[in-house]
């Protein structure tokens, strides 16, 4: 695939676009606010699991606070973003599924669990949290003679996406719920930015072809082909999405602004690498995105993933 084909493929994957979107202000929480939110989070988990999580050792660290809970469980909340995570303390091979169920059955299981966990409580008014993907974690063994056992389903993970109106908030999963075989909650994370119901600006949306060209330039630079065409037959897949951009759980953020997020997967012999590029979707830049092209291509094992975020530089 040459550079022109890559750009065309990225643009074709975007879909319909609005002409402009709101730039939305976000709530800023004090440490006391974050502690109250985390206590509410643990209360919802405790109600679903029928266990008391109201007592724990709260240990404040530089950028996050850890809550050590009974029976090996713990929770974490991040000071910059307000993201929260709960881990039950179950051993990895404890409470497995009795059989590999259908995807429809497992999807219903995680949706029923998230309803009990009231995940929609974390979305601001006029925002929604929508199911996006189901992951299945399986294990399989083989003896010395090479006889392979049937796969065992260990855990399922339901991933959910935060939407502001019809526009997704791109980044990691907004909510992720990991269930064990009996439906018990093994782990859960919530990373939903709370809006302040304030429109900061109206952002005019930039042509996706311009963004795709910037992504191609950044990719070529990373691969050491800035003066040549992209190498052929190394791009396995490419997609580009439009939405609001979340900067991650360890970064503070005062607003939601539109961006294009492209993911490009490269394969060469036995190595597979994935790069993610975030570029501004508006004529005016609102977010402090990192400059692209400064990182060397890392050496990765097969199926490993690298993350690179680049800045859109437009006229």
Q: Kindly tell me the sign of the dihedral angle through the C-alpha atoms of 144, 148, 154, 160.
A: positive
Rounded to whole angstroms, how far apart are CA atoms 179 and 110? 7
Which residue ranges of the chain lie beneath pLDDT 50? Answer: 226, 291-315
Residue 174: per-residue pLDDT: 97
Rounded to whole angstroms, how far apart are CA atoms 94 and 109? 18
Residue 133, SS3 per DSSP: strand
Rounded to whole angstroms, how far apart are CA atoms 194 and 70? 30
CB 77 within 8 A of CB 61: no
How many CA within 13 A on the CB side of residue 295? 15
DSSP string, 247-281: --TTS--SEE-EEEEEEEEEEETTEEEEEEEEEE-
Residue 112: per-residue pLDDT: 97
CB 110 within 8 A of CB 195: no
Pair type for strands 167-170 and 235-245: parallel
3-state helix, strand, coil in the chain (%, to 5): 20, 35, 45
Pull the structure tokens for residue 96. 């497995």
Residue 42, SS3 per DSSP: helix
Helices (H), the chain: 3-12, 31-49, 103-116, 208-222
Residue 184: per-residue pLDDT: 94
Rounded to whole angstroms, how far apart are CA atoms 286 and 114? 33
**Alpha-carbon torsion angle 164, 167, 171, 175, nearest 10:** 50
Residue 223: per-residue pLDDT: 76
Instruction: Name the nearest CA neighbour of 74 among 62, 63, 95, 59.
Output: 59
* Residue 273 burial class via C-beta count within 10 angstroms: exposed 0-12, middle 13-18, buried 19 and up: buried
CB 254 within 8 A of CB 81: no
Number of residues that this document lists for the chain: 315
232-237 long-range CB contacts below 8 Å, 24 or more apart?
Answer: 232/1, 232/2, 233/1, 234/266, 234/267, 234/268, 235/1, 235/6, 235/264, 235/265, 235/266, 236/265, 236/266, 236/267, 236/272, 237/263, 237/264, 237/265
Pull the structure tokens for residue 113. 């669990």
């Amino acid at each position: 695939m040459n550079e022109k084909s890559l750009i065309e493929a990225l643009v074709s994957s975007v879909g319909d676009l609005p002409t402009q979107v709101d730039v939305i202000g976000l709530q800023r929480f004090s440490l006391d606010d974050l502690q109250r939110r985390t206590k509410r989070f643990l209360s919802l988990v405790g109600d679903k699991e029928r266990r008391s999580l109201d007592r724990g050792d709260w240990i404040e660290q530089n950028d996050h606070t850890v809550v050590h809970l009974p029976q090996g469980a713990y929770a974490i909340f991040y000071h910059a973003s307000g993201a929260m995570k709960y881990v039950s303390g179950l051993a990895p091979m404890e409470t497995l599924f009795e059989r590999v169920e259908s995807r429809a059955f497992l999807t219903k299981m995680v949706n029923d669990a998230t309803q009990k966990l009231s995940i929609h409580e974390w979305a601001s008014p006029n925002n929604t949290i929508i199911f996006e993907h189901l992951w299945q974690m399986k294990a399989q063994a083989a003896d010395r003679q090479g006889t392979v056992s049937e796969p065992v389903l260990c855990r399922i993970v339901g991933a959910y996406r935060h939407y502001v109106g019809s526009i997704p908030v791109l980044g990691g999963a907004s909510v992720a719920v990991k269930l064990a075989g009996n439906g018990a909650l093994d782990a859960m994370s919530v990373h939903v930015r709370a809006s302040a119901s304030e429109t900061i600006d109206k952002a005019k949306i930039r042509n996706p072809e311009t963004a795709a060209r910037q992504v191609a330039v950044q990719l070529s630079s990373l691969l050491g082909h800035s003066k040549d065409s992209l190498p052929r037959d190394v791009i396995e897949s490419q997609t580009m999405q439009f939405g609001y951009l979340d900067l991650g759980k360890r970064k503070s953020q005062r607003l939601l602004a539109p961006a294009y997020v492209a993911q490009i997967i490269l394969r060469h012999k036995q190595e597979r690498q994935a790069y993610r590029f975030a570029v501004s979707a508006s004529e005016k830049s609102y977010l402090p995105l990192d400059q692209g092209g400064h990182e060397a291509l890392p050496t990765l094992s097969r199926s490993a993933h690298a993350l690179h975020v680049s800045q859109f530089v437009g006229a």
